[in-house]
Amino acid sequence: MRKLQTIWSSTEITITTKVKEYESLVLLVSTAETWTVIANAQRKLSAFEMDCLRRIAGVTRKDRRRNSDIETTLNIHENIVQKPERRL
């Protein structure tokens, strides 16, 4: 995720493209179906996802925006924990 910081902070790349890159690069690795996800891991994955989405949206925690608002802005319909569950 950190190596993609230049993409997330770029003003020349659209939000839609950033979200597509996030879904194809970051989620591909983090939603591997072979992972056994327990409650603690779910919380960590959710926190990681929101960190990624905040960077894409250019929002810091100091901005005090709700996670749901950021997900709506980026047109994210299901979170990182729901995707593997849906595949089962």
CB-side exposure of 40: number of CA atoms within 13 Å? Answer: 0
Write down the pLDDT at residue 54: 92
Q: What is the mean pLDDT of the chain?
A: 79
Task: Give the whole-angstrom CA distance, residue 17 versus residue 36.
Answer: 30
Tokens of 13: 């790349």
The yes-or-no verdict on residue 82 having pLDDT over 80 is no
The tens digit of pLDDT for each residue in 13-51 reads 888 888 888 877 777 666 555 555 577 778 888 898 899
Read off the pTM.
Answer: 0.57
The yes-or-no verdict on residue 55 having pLDDT over 80 is yes
Write down the pLDDT at residue 86: 55
Residue type, 63: D
Task: Give the whole-angstrom CA distance, residue 68 versus residue 31.
Answer: 20
